[in-house]
Amino acid sequence: MNKTDRIYVAGHNGMVGSAILRKLTKEGFTNFILRSSKELDLRDQQGVARFFTETKPDHVFLAAAKVGGIVANNTYRAEFLYDNLMIQNNIIHQSYQNRVDKLMFLGSSCIYPKLAPQPLKEEYLLTGELEYTNEPYAIAKIAGIKMCDSYRAQYGCNFISVMPTNLYGPNDNYDLSNSHVLPALIRKFHEARIDGAPEVLIWGSGKPYREFLHVDDLAAACYFLMNNYDEPGFINIGTGIDIQINDLALLIKEIVGYKGEIKNDTSKPDGTPRKLMDTSRLTNLGWSPLIDLKNGIKKVYEDFQVNFSQ
């Protein structure tokens, strides 16, 4: 990428898109094309077509998506499938129509089969059944990977796909009805400390393992790959280290300073037992994350107290 290139970050107000925008700004890029969801509904085929025709971006980071945790994914199954398919179909197709130099599609580790061997290698895609609770989102993301590959094969488009592990960081979603596990735990422990609650209830058995990547590390990886990766298929982005949910809860409890008890609500679903990324392909290209989990959560909790807590 050249510093004068026109860069469209789709989803620039979200956690991932805003991190990519911060990284690009830090690297000296200034020629951004940005539209909020109120300004441009990415599900609108004609609206997206007009936008691309008028702005002619050189590079596209496709970070826009309808996202949420287990409850949201499982409750709004039709919306998660329809909205994400429409968003990515419109942007990928218009990137082809308007001869975008390069597009990066961001997916999710939920694309992997529920019981895939660990750690998750890229070649495990479509080798087994998906986790039911987030199947619509996963199917949409798999379709995005295949769409990028198909446009590459048929039209010669330089469209690449990256699959981040679970993310956390500034601009995360702390709504307990549809947030992911880490921000949900931060809010629960913070509110319990403020209210003097005797216990915090966490969903499920606490036995599943999850891997967490700070979104600023993801943005650094995306920038690295946009400049150094031009292959079909997709590449994992993660830390290669996971943690049991019960241990994550204990870590967040310590950071927040909560003194009460932790209890598990086993009536709630666990989701996939484990989702640890194999990041050897990315490591072999020369990139590794810099932010360890404890320090990352400390930074996020500081941000939460300033921007989100009441």
pLDDT in tens, 20-72: 999 999 999 999 999 999 999 999 999 999 999 999 999 999 999 988 777 77
How far is 288 from 236, CA to CA, in rounded Å? Answer: 12
Pairing of strands 242-244, 209-214: antiparallel
How far is 47 from 44, CA to CA, in rounded Å? Answer: 5
CB contact at 8 A, 277 and 238: yes
* pLDDT confidence bin for 310, thresholds 50/70/90: low
* pLDDT confidence bin for 177, thresholds 50/70/90: confident
* pLDDT confidence bin for 309, thresholds 50/70/90: low
* pLDDT confidence bin for 205, thresholds 50/70/90: very high
To the nearest whole number, what is the mean pLDDT of the chain? 94
Once rounded to an integer, what is the mean pLDDT over residues 83-94?
98
- Give the tokens for residue 246: 């019960």
What pLDDT score does 262 carry? 96
The enclosing H or E element of 77 equals helix 77-97
The model's pLDDT over 141-174, given as tens digits with 9 standing for 90+, comes to 999 999 999 999 999 999 999 999 999 999 898 8
Q: Which SS3 state, helix, strand or coil, does residue 115 take?
A: coil
The model's pLDDT over 222-269, given as tens digits with 9 standing for 90+, comes to 999 999 999 999 999 999 999 999 999 999 999 999 999 999 999 988
Question: Residue type at 103?
Answer: L
User: 7-170+212-241+276-291 has which CATH code?
Assistant: 3.40.50.720
Q: What phi and psi, each to the nearest 5 degrees, are found at residue 66? A: -90, 120
The model's pLDDT over 273-289, given as tens digits with 9 standing for 90+, comes to 888 999 999 999 999 99
Share of the chain above pLDDT 90, in %: 85
Instruction: Report domain extents, the chain.
Output: 7-170+212-241+276-291
- Give the tokens for residue 269: 């679903």
- Please tell me which residue, 110 or 48, carries the higher pLDDT value: 48
> CB neighbours (10 Å) of residue 227?
11
Model pTM score: 0.93
**Residues belonging to the active site:** 137
Q: Residue 243, class by beta-carbon neighbours within 10 Å (0-12 exposed, 13-18 middle, 19+ buried)?
A: middle
